Amino acid sequence: MVQAVPHAYSRHVYIFADELYLGSGCPATRVQTYEYEFIYSVHDCGIRTQVVSEDTLLFQTELYYNPRSIHRNCHKIPLECSVSRKSVWLIPVSTENEIKLDPSPFIADFETTPEELGLLNSN
């Protein structure tokens, strides 16, 4: 997760969410007045992973500022984050051994007809 504050300190300029992109063009996933969040898998957006040691991984990407105004310059801000391989934030992704949930007991006996839902006219 990357968090960005939407104003430039040097010029007191507000930066709009559509002016910032993570890595290979990924827009903010959550936009608030005073903060933008970019929440993506480490395999998305061109994020690069490097094994630094047996226990440490390094993630690298960039935050791109592409202003609406032609009077402002574009910027590329390099980002790095090192993390332990044992971190609880690194969750293995697997499609083979997906967790299969039992059907909810609250819905098991629930049945209805389209007429009861008002989806069809019973003419």
pLDDT tens for 46-97 read 999 888 888 888 999 999 999 888 888 888 999 998 888 777 666 655 555 5
Q: Which is more confident, 102 or 28?
A: 28
Look up the pTM and report it: 0.64
| CB within 8 Å of 20: residues ≥ 6 apart | 4, 6, 27, 28, 36, 63, 64, 65, 66
Q: What is the pLDDT of residue 34?
A: 85
